[in-house]
A and B are shown apart, each in its own frame.
Chain A
Amino acid sequence: MNGPHDMGGMQCYGPVKPEKNEPIFHGDWEKRALAMTVGMGFAGQWNLDVSRFARESLPPEFYLTKSYYQIWIHGLQNLMLERGLVTENELATGEMETHPLEVKRVVSADEMPAALAAGGPVAREPSAPAAMAVGDKVRTINIHPSSHTRLPRYARNKLGEIIAIHGCHVFPDSNAKGEGENPQWLYAVRFSSEELFGPDAEPRNSVVVDCWEPYLERV
């Protein structure tokens, strides 16, 4: 989706302002927001790509003005509302009014360190050899799906070169729609700054974008 999250190349947001000695959390609520976002991920009611799409789908005026933990919390609430895990009224009052739905997994405190350490690898056995090789010149496709994609706008319909093959990974464009993991070969593709941003781009720079095979055409 061409939403507010797809920020690469925008020029309207001003300078970066790093905070000196930034604390890990700026308040207790951020700690709990992190814990609930990660914790509900383990419940298995959605996958990573579905949760990213939920955040991207928040209203632009919200996405562009709130902190990232606020985005996480609102994304989480929407995911739960859509699945009937909670109701609007319950979110407002904090009081349970409907029976809980069964979730796939509730991780206990004892199990949590191992669950965090295991993470969620997305590499999968390929069903076919990689169609492209390091050194191949490629052009990214020109797509504008209203659903989730990880091909940023600034890198669409651009000429680049494959510099690495990462393996075969879950394909977010399918996985976010509940169409299964549909694993695809994943490549590191390097683009010159002039190819991406025109003749006035800062010279001698390049950007490497990780692209799944369906995003690429060999030139």
Chain B
Amino acid sequence: MGQNHDHDHSEWSDMELKVKTLESLLLEKGYVDQAALDVIVETYEHKVGPRNGAQVVAKAWADPNYLQRLRDDASSAIAELGFTGRQGEHMRVVENTPDTHNMVVCTLCSCYPWSVLGLPPVWYKSAPYRSRAVSEPRKVLSEFDVSLPEDTNIQVWDSTAEMRYLVIPLRPEGTDGWSEEKLADLVTRDSMIGTGLALSPDEVSA
């Protein structure tokens, strides 16, 4: 599966045309409503994205009671912050520890926790990631410039069902007493997939 956008230009303009043709047909047949389709695009382009998940992680770091609620019932705890909906109906958090690093994949398609991370990046849906995340996660992490200590266990979660996984990365050192808002700036999308780590205070102030 293509992971880059080096498709030749004619293929891309073919798709523009094909998709326009399809949409006008579906509208004429009355199967969909154009303004409703616009709402879908608007939602995933501007409203739902990894800032949602970053708020969940920051709150989990700052508030032990919230972390416990996430462990007990992540879907409800995440819904407390207003994040619900498609591809987030059945949430579970997986917590990184000094011993164990978690990483999420969908080897069979493109399952991803939309409600907290938005739409998946191209690489997440690509053959290289889907094929190798389960069999050689350490090598895959090196392709994201992530290097873990030799003795860290890597636990990979293959999203074969409708459970959607959100990684709680390790809280960076030097962040004691930080507000949730400030902590959230350290939480990258990739750190919540497990292909990255949370940023250090130096990295955000730099």
Q: Which A positions have Cβ atoms within 8 angstroms of B?
A: 5-19, 22, 24-29, 31-36, 38-40, 43, 52, 55-56, 63-71, 73, 76-77, 85-86, 90-96, 100, 103, 106-109, 111-113, 116-123, 150-152, 154-155, 164, 166-167, 169-170, 172, 186, 188, 190, 193, 196-197, 201-202, 204-212
- Pick the residue among B84, B89, B161 that contacts A212 (CB under 8 A): B161
Which B residues, 148 to 188, have Cβ-Cβ distances below 8 Å to chain A? 151-163
Residues of A within 8 A of B108 (CB): 5-8, 52, 150, 152
Q: Verify B37–A35 contact, CB threshold 8 A.
A: yes
Q: Enumerate the 9 nearest inter-chain pairs by beta-carbon distance, A residue then B residue, closest first.
A: A8-B107, A109-B35, A210-B161, A94-B21, A35-B37, A10-B131, A100-B29, A13-B127, A112-B39
User: For residue B2, which residues in chain A have a CB less than 8 angstroms away from its CB?
Assistant: 65-67
Distance between Cα atoms of A211 and B3 in the complex (Å):
28
Contact status B36-A210, CB under 8 Å = no
* Stretch of B51-59, B60-68, B132-140, B197-205 on the interface side: B132-140
Is the CB–CB distance between A9 and B131 below 8 Å? yes
On whether the beta carbons of A209 and B158 are closer than 8 Å, the reply is yes
Tell me if A196 and B135 are in contact (CB < 8 A).
yes
- The count of chain B contact residues (Cβ–Cβ below 8 Å) is 85
User: In the complex, A70→B159 CA distance in Å?
Assistant: 22
* A106 vs B135: C-alpha distance when bound (angstroms): 43
* B136 cross-chain contacts in A, Cβ below 8 A: 201-202
Residues on B with C-beta less than 8 A from A119 are: 84-89, 115
- What is the bound-complex CA distance between A2 and B136, given in angstroms? 21
B36 touches A40 (CB 8 A): no
Taken together as a complex, chains A and B put the C-alpha atoms of A14 and B30 apart, in Å, by 44
B8 at the interface (CB under 8 A from A): no
Residues B39 and A113 in contact, CB atoms below 8 Å apart: yes
Query: B97 to chain A: which residues have CB within 8 Å?
Result: none
Q: Which residues of B contact A164 (CB under 8 A)?
A: 92
Determine whether the beta carbon of B122 is less than 8 Å from that of A19.
yes
Residue of B nearest to A113 (CB): B39
Asked if residues A38 and B86 are in contact (CB atoms below 8 Å), the reply is yes
Provide the residues of chain B in CB contact with A7, threshold 8 Å. Answer: 107-108, 127, 130-131
